[in-house]
Structure 1
Amino acid sequence: MQSVIVMINLAGAVALLLFGLAEVKQGVLQAFGGRLRAVLAAGTRRSWRALLSGLGATLALQSSTATGLMTASFVERGLVEPRMAQVVLLGANIGTALTAWIVAAGIAWLSPVLLLLGFALRRNGAGPRQGAGIALMGVGLLLLSLHLLSLATEPMRASPALAAFIGLLDDAWPVALLLSAGLALAAASSLAVVILVTALAAAGILSDGLVVVLVLGANLGGAIPPVLATSGAPMAARRVVLGNLVVRGCGTLAVLPLADRLGDALTNLGLAGPNLPVDVHLLFNLALALAAWPLAGSLARLMRRLLPDTPQERNAPKFLDPTELSTPVVALASATREVLGVGDLVEKMLCDVRDAFRQRDPTFLRGIEPLEKDVDRLQQAVKIYIAQISHDEGSDKAHERSAEIVDYAINLEHIGDIIEKGLVPEIGKMVAFDLRFSDEGFRELDSFMETTIENLRMAQTIFVTRDLDLSRRLMDAKLTVRQIEKTSAARHFQRLRENRRASIETSSLHLDILRDLKRINAHIASVAHPIMDAEGLLVESRVRHGASGLPSSVVSN
């Protein structure tokens, strides 16, 4: 029964440690997320600055995995050179080792102080100040978990079963290495395992050589989660984190046979004791950085040969960075850029339809179906991304902007459907059956298509700027479109009454194209609705209600 209680206490202490790490990461991202990413991206122009950037980001985030994923996303978007990215991760490895050293040297009374101060900031602050409070509470929980780990491992000193197990590990270093690596992989943190080893070392049940082996395993296992997290990412991102795993793996294999000697050497230097694991962790990563730093360029080229570029998926999402989800303002900006790209694809579809109509050439229509599939895929990716953004309670503006982005993306997808299922078959029929509009009818439809394209371009600008004057113009354009459709239909019926052969042959086509262009413009104008509504310029109905005292003519939303 006593052993069960010990294991429960140990598991609870490790869980608190992991929770503290997550809280520090969340708080730092909330307080400095955008600036932290900007500093990390800008600090990679020189090798030594790249190393310091990785170290600083990891100290702030308490996670080399988070730093690795951010760096990989920068490489994917061409913001960081692969060689510099490898140096950043060397700095991140040092950062996580330095974090373990600082936590292990923490003062017991500092934990409640940080928890109290962090709680006050979190409760009474907002935005960056609240994020700083969350981060301070996370650090306090880290120190508290270390104290609990020490208490949980204290009964282990007298445990014969544990002594026998440790003895087996002492005689089977590869097994000890794999066990430690597996724990680091399961916890997604080498820091957690190193702190656990520190607690066991303080209990006096680990030999110096076994301490070195367990720390090596923690380093190896801690490099695996970023590789797994980027398994579906483009090759440029995967090469970065795989290179870091190769570096740690080579370092581990080089040091493993010397673990006993290294333990003895550290003992002779006076480093043996309860803090030996964090000392080994820090020394290993410093030595690894010094050895691998000059080889960063060669490593990047090797990774490129091992993971060559594959043909890119058509119009895959370019800006939906998962590492930005915890910072809503940054994530929403990225989603906005992605939806602008969707709008550009829809504009290309409209231009292709216009050119096919003008030149009576069906080859312009061949690329529309693949473009429509791209639009469907991208708008679905945007919706999923927006749903994953971590909104703070009460962040009404962020919620409203999220709704606007999703609404515009859905409207663009509807426009793509109308083009593919309506306009494309209609223009294809015109060409296949050699149907020719009257000169007047052709000019009316061509002008309507051009107006639609211009309205879409205006909507793209409104989506980014939220300009009220442009929104008014687009809503006025919606009324103009309605008038264009009515006038063109009336003129077409007049030509039918005049028995014009061209108008009779193309009657259904003419009216169908008018209807589809009108529907497209209705979706385009929707981007102005939230802006006009926020100014109180929209009402719910266009129905005339003279008897009730309502305005006799209002604009629909």
Structure 2
Amino acid sequence: MSAQALLLELLGGAALLLWATRMVRTGILRAYGGSLRQVLARATGGPIKAAAAGVASAAVLQSSTATALLLVSFASRGLIALTPALAVMLGADLGSTLVVQVLSFDLRAVAPALLVIGVALFMLTRSPKSRQMGRVSIGLGLMILALGLIVGASEPLRESEVLRTVLTALAGEPLLAMILAALLTWLAHSSVAMVLLIVSLAAGGVLPSGLGLALILGANVGAGLVPFVLTLGESRDGRLVTLGNLGFRALGALAVLPFAGLLAELLGQFEADPARLLANFHTAFNFALLLVFLPLTGFAARLLQKVLPAREEGEADDQPRHLDDSLLDRPAMALACATREALRVADVVETMLAETIEAFRADDPKRIAELRALDNRVDRLHEAIKLYLSRMSREPLTEEESRQAFDLITFTTNLEHIGDVIDKGLLELAAKRQKRKVAFSEAGWRELVALHSRVSEQMQLAVAVFVTRDVDMARSLVVQKEKIRDQERAAAEAHMERLRSGRPETIETSALHLDVLRDLKRINSHLSAVAYPILEAEGELRGSRLRKRVESTGA
């Protein structure tokens, strides 16, 4: 076989390996992405529990990068602190090595069975999860075939004098070899695929063990580089997670690199198979990182927060941070990006709502102007999310992905409407009160503050319902809507009673008072709309109302 044919076969095997790895990751995310996000979001019970969550998620996803991107979204929203997030990433680094461990064995005999099972599940079942597990099975079968192709193509290369000269020179420059492997891993965006490629070349007798260890170290550095580059546009809290993970990997690799040759000789005494030797070293290296750095995550978090100062807030806040165009062909990841951006919009709207009551309390036109500027940000981000999801919809979507995209658009549209109600309604009323120099009656002001407080709580509950899709919380959201409506009606009746009694301050602010009540009720209606698709999907609605079980316990 000619050198060109061998090279083409080797590149074809590497390409198939990358594609198969992506298939497995995509299938897992589409089938169990929501459950994995919940596991990571709850990983705050100590460093060991957090690391265990990272091991589990990365082992299932076959990617520490995917785990990192999910984790960054939580850190950016303040759902997980930096210390446990770093512990999760140390566990994820170890978890991704378990895949390499399994696939480093000769599994060619099971590849046909995996392909048959995968095709059967994907083509003969209607369940979305079963179809995605079929995708996973096909991906695993293709990964095994790709590894066999790479081993077969690399065996004749052992006789190549040119390749032997190149590898000998590279073996004499371990730092250069590590940097090269890191760059290739970044280009491939998959450390699992790169490590498996290195292991396969070693199995074919192409790579000496010392050079293989240096390349494995480089792949680990590259695995930290990939999520770091992908999250450069994230908030500071999100970037700290990937920066810390990259720091752990780089420090560990630089500490071990001078001893790569010695370690190769030592490990060779216990493992004759070069492929198993490299796979074991890959796992041992990441396990060592976990042991060394897990007790230091708290110190590392404090150090990172000093090294990377908070970014100045400015016009960049009006631009989307999470809408990554490179993920549009991966709907599950694109939906995660859009969800993170939607939650950013929710944060802005929640700030507007919380600060609006202060605009009525104080005579400060500047505060009103600042809040109105936030509505412009909401409008721009809402438009960006809609366009992003419309472009993602050009890709084939599952029924569940289509539903998620529709729910995202509905959620952000309701947030945009709330922003308009605050901007053109409540803030306009606050400006009128300041201009007229009038004040609400003491009783009237208490009613407005109480209703505003209930609506603010409803805002927090609506965001939680959107994130978790919890049916009980969705029912509570609708129940609270009715209670707030009753509270608004009672406040209006109390105001009319004071109006009939002829209180001067009530007469002066009557129109303002009733309009504020009306706008708060409108905001409450938009917030409650989040619950209806969830309850309808669960059969929890009867017409436009909740079933009797809720009606008997609600308002």
- Could you tell me the TM-score, scaled by structure 2's length? 0.72
Asked if 1:415 corresponds to 2:421, the answer is yes
1:146: Cα distance to partner? 1.0
Q: Which residue of 2 aligns with 1:486?
A: none
Tell me, which stretches of 5 or more residues in structure 1 are unaligned?
482-505, 538-557
Q: Residues of 1 paired with 2:192 and 2:272: CA distance?
A: 19
**Aligned partners of 2:50 and 2:91 also within 8 Å:** yes
Q: More deviation in 65-74 or 251-260?
A: 65-74
Seq. identity, %:
27
Distance 1:420 1:156, change over 3 A: farther
Partner secondary structure for residue 332 of structure 2: coil
Q: Which residue of 2 aligns with 1:48?
A: 48
Cα distance in 1 for residues equivalent to 2:31 and 2:356: 43
Q: Which residues of 2 match residues 104-183 of structure 1 at below 5 A?
A: 104-123=104-123, 124-183=125-184
> What is the RMSD of the two structures over their aligned residues, measured on CA atoms?
5.0
Question: Quick check: 1:418–1:520 contact (8 Å CA) kept in 2?
Answer: no
Q: Is the 8 A contact 2:75 2:82 kept in 1?
A: yes
Offset, 1:62: 0.4
Change (3 A) 1:43 1:470: closer
Aligned partner of 2:399 among 380, 387, 394 = 394
**In the alignment, is the contact (CA less than 8 A) between 2:426 and 2:519 conserved in 1?**
no
- Residue equivalent to 1:65: 65
The answer as to whether partners of 1:223 and 1:248 remain within 8 angstroms in 2 is yes
Q: Supply the distance in 2 between the matched residues of 1:369 and 1:405 (Cα, whole angstroms).
A: 26
Aligned residue-pair number: 499
Q: How does 1:216-227 map to 2 (within 5 A)?
A: 216-227=217-228
CA distance in structure 1 between the aligned counterparts of 2:206 and 2:429, rounded to whole angstroms: 77
CA spacing shift, 1:411–1:146, aligned 2, 3 Å? same
What does residue 332 of structure 2 align with? 326
Deviation string 1:294-332 (CA, Å, 9 cap, x unpaired) is 333333333233224456679979998989972899889
Task: Name the structure 1 match of 2:188.
Answer: 187
Q: In 2, Cα distance between the equivalents of 1:106 and 1:53?
A: 29
Gaps of 5+ in 2: 466-473, 493-507, 545-555
Alpha-carbon distance in 2 for matches of 1:331, 1:232: 12
User: What is the deviation of 1:369?
Assistant: 1.9
- Superposition map of 1:228-247 within 5 A: 228-247=229-248
**What does 1:271-290 correspond to in 2, within 5 Å?**
271-290=272-291
- Give distance in 1, aligned partners of 2:138 and 2:208: 34
Q: Is the 8 A contact 1:212 1:263 kept in 2?
A: yes
388, 412, 419: which is aligned to 1:406? 412
Q: Shift in Å at residue 169 of structure 1?
A: 0.8
* Residues 1:77 and 1:422: Cα distance change in structure 2 (over 3 Å): closer
Secondary structure of the residue aligned to 1:105 is coil
- The offset of 1:61, in angstroms, is 0.5
Q: Give the structure 2 partner of residue 93 of structure 1.
A: 93
Q: 1:320 to 1:409 in 2, by over 3 A?
A: farther
Residues 24-82 of structure 1: CA deviation (Å, up to 9, x unaligned): 22222222222222223334423333332221111100001122233344444444443
In structure 2, relative to structure 1, the CA distance for the partners of 1:131 and 1:372 (3 Å cut) is: farther
- Are the aligned partners of 2:359 and 2:367 in contact in 1 as well (CA < 8 Å)? no
The higher radius of gyration belongs to 1
Distance 1:81 1:451, change over 3 A: closer
Q: Structure 1's 3 and 352: CA in aligned 2 closer, same or farther, altered over 3 A?
A: same
1:474-498 CA distance string (max 9 Å, x none)? 8xx99xx9xxxxxxxxxxxxxxxxx
Contact 1:224 1:245 in 2 (8 A): yes
Give the match for residue 260 of structure 2.
259
Amino acid at match of 2:399: G
SS in 1 for 2:274: coil
Cα distance in structure 2, aligned partners of 1:108 and 1:231: 40
Q: Distance in 2 between matches of 1:254 and 1:315?
A: 39
Please identify, of 381-390 and 454-463, the stretch whose mean Cα deviation from structure 2 is larger: 454-463
Query: 1:517-528 to 2 correspondence within 5 Å?
Result: none
Q: Deviations over 1:135-172 (max 9, x none)?
A: 22222222122122223323423333322221221222
Mapped partners of 1:413, 1:119: distance in 2: 48
Question: How far is 1:202 from its partner?
Answer: 2.2
Separation in structure 2 between the aligned mates of residue 528 and residue 286 of structure 1, nearest angstrom: 47
For residues 297 and 521 of structure 1, the distance between their equivalents in structure 2, rounded to whole angstroms, comes to: 45
**2:299 matched residue in structure 1:** 298
State the Cα distance separating 1:410 from its structure 2 match: 3.1
Query: Take 1:251 and 1:382, find their aligned partners in 2: how far apart are those partners?
Result: 43
2:103 is matched with which residue?
Answer: 103
Q: Deviations over 1:241-287 (max 9, x none)?
A: 22222222222222222121111112222344333321221222223
